[in-house]
A and B are shown apart, each in its own frame.
Chain A
């Protein structure tokens, strides 16, 4: 366990207002964080949690650029991703049916902003240097590869994972985003190779 749960919960609370402000600027509308939860999982529980996601989930990831090896994974349901890109692109919700390059770019920017906001709060609370690399989208098959690498690393101690579950209400639309922080060297290598 790299971070104490109390530190993570304090960081999540501290970042809540910042996250709301961030998305309000992007969406040009009222944004509320309607629920936020920290879950600390061991690798088995993490695997189950991720594999139970809908096959159509939209996944963006970024490598942690810090002294701690890890990945940030943003997961949204496809429906929430489509709603989010419509809001961010100032379109009527329901307009987008297929994610185009500009929409994928908007989702990667969402990962960038959401995770940087939460990591900056965590960085201050834990006095650890935490930053993010370039965000990418990841197909589900690649995520499965990453998960299999995590599973192979079962015997390595001290690389638990943290899930920041955040539900935002943006302009009256609820969007649930799970930010997984996976502190695992093998996961980084699998994702970046």
Chain B
């Protein structure tokens, strides 16, 4: 579990920090961070993460438009404050393995990640 590389993509440094703390508490320790969709693309190619936690509303390149591309290379879980059904359905149709609406319970994040990784 500790070796599983997770790419956290969110323009909010605060939210990246919250997610890292939750995952560290669950035994994960191998993280890469990105601030937007361009970062997500670059770091997916250079770091080959097993899992990408992807925000949707970000500057420059948002998350929704790159889910299909990223999900060919790693599991993708969307973590977004946008909770409307249309967004959830679109993300899953594009290839997201799951969708978590912010804010979230710590257990919800850990359980979803473990489930998607098959742990």
Contact = CB atoms under 8 A, between A and B. Distances in A.
A93 B87 CA distance: 36
Mostly helix, strand, loop or mixed at chain A's interface?
A: helix
B11 A134 contact: yes
A108 B83 contact: no
Bin the interface of chain B by size: 10 to 19
Interface stretch (B12-20, B23-31, B45-53, B65-73): B12-20
Bin the interface of chain A by size: 20 to 34
B81 A112 contact: yes
Contacts of B105: 25
B59 A134 contact: yes
A116 B15 CA distance: 16
A134 B59 CA distance: 6
Interface string A87-113: 011000000000001110110110011
A116 B81 contact: yes
Contacts of B93: none
Interface string A21-36: 0110110000000000
A153 interface: no
Contacts of A105: 12-15
A105 B55 CA distance: 14
Interface in B52-106: 57-59, 81-84, 87, 102-105
